[in-house]
Structure 1
Amino acid sequence: MDSQMKLEFEKSKTGDKEERYEAYQNILHATDQKVDWAYEVWDQLVDDLTHKDNHQRSRAAQYLANLAKSDPEMRIMKDFPKLWEVTKDEKFVTARHSLQSIWKVGIAGTPQKEMLMEYMVERFENGTDEKNYTLIRNDMLQNMKNLYDHYHEESIKQTAMDLIDTVDDIKYKKKYLNIWK
């Protein structure tokens, strides 16, 4: 990792609000592609998933999701449950930002995609007692659509359609189907 990227990680934690946001954007942009330095920050990011500051938890989750494609050792398979927990964070904005980026884990490879799909299906089916579960379901279906757009696998779309079919509320069923238009 070059010194500029190290500085970005530092600024994303300690800078003022504008510096933190700019660093966050720069890190997400850098990790949109494969990088060779993922393991230099991996363990710290996993630790930050339980940081006392919800902004740190959110950023760590988003960075790890982006870095999954740069993980030849497939550490994400072991660390994913910790990452998934942030999608249930006590701060809903933290949970939501984490959930909306978690689909990127699925583009790292087939085992990662299958694991992610299992987690999302289970939560879709059994998460109706969660606060804001209709938004959570919407985000998970959008994640599936993102995976479908990446892989073009009909099984992903079929899974989403099967889940949507289980929704009784016509308003939400229609909203969920609109994701797939």
Structure 2
Amino acid sequence: MDNQMKLEFEKSKSGNKDERYEAYQYILKVTDQKVDWAYEVWDQLLEDLTHKDNHQRSRSAQYLANLAKSDPELRMMKDFPKLWEVTKDEKFVTARHSLQSIWKVGIAGKPPQKEIVMEYMVDRFQNGTEEKNFTLIRNDILENMKNLYSHLNDEVIKQTALHLIDTVQDNKYRKKYTNIWK
């Protein structure tokens, strides 16, 4: 990892609000492609998933989701449950930002990563109706599946999403969810 990248990670944790946001944007842009330094920050990002600052938890989750494509050792398979926990964060904005980036783990290039992401999302869609804001969570899950489908063109993903939509009792939400897949 070069010094610029180290500095950006530091700025994303400290500095003023504008600096943190610029560093966050920079890190997401860089990690949108494979990088060879993922493991230099991996353990710290895992640790920061439980940081006292909800913004740090959110950023760490998003960075890890982006770095899944730079994980030849498939550490994500072991660490995914820790990442998934942030999608249930006490701060809903943190949970939502984390959930909205989780699909990136599924496009990391290895079938097991896609399968674990799908398994967790399907389970949450089916069994998360007692959660606060579960209709928004379901919407995000279906958006994630749409993103996965768009990248992988895997018909199983589409059929799974459509099946989940068919299980929704409320016509208002069924229509809203169906529109994601039009």
Helix, strand or coil for the counterpart of 1:140?
helix
How does the TM-score come out when normalised to structure 1? Answer: 1.00
Amino acid at match of 1:173: R
Distance 2:25 2:156 in 1: 33
Displacement of 1:15 in angstroms is 1.1
Question: Are 1:142 and 2:135 an aligned pair?
Answer: no
Distance 1:153 1:79 in 2: 24
RMSD of Structure 2 on Structure 1 (CA): 0.3
Could you list the runs of 5+ residues in structure 2 that have no partner in the other structure?
A: none
Distance 2:36 2:150 in 1: 26
> What do residues 89-140 of structure 1 show as CA deviations (whole Å, max 9, x unaligned)?
0000000000000100000121100000000000000000000000000000
Distance 1:124 1:69 in 2: 25
Amino acid at match of 1:98: S
Distance 2:155 2:42 in 1: 33
Amino acid at match of 2:89: D
Helix, strand or coil for the counterpart of 1:139?
helix
> What do residues 57-86 of structure 1 show as CA deviations (whole Å, max 9, x unaligned)?
000000000000000000000000000000
Amino acid at match of 1:168: Q
Q: Give the aligned partner of residue 34 of structure 1.
A: 34
Amino acid at match of 1:89: D
How does the TM-score come out when normalised to structure 2? Answer: 0.99
Distance 1:173 1:14 in 2: 43
Helix, strand or coil for the counterpart of 2:33?
coil
After superposition, where does 1:31-180 map in structure 2 within 5 Å?
A: 31-108=31-108, 109-180=110-181
Could you list the runs of 5+ residues in structure 1 that have no partner in the other structure?
A: none
Displacement of 1:26 in angstroms is 0.1
Distance 2:124 2:38 in 1: 29
> Identity over aligned residues, as a percent?
82
Distance 2:15 2:181 in 1: 40
Displacement of 1:147 in angstroms is 0.3
Query: Where do 4+ consecutive residues of structure 1 move more than 6 Å?
Result: none
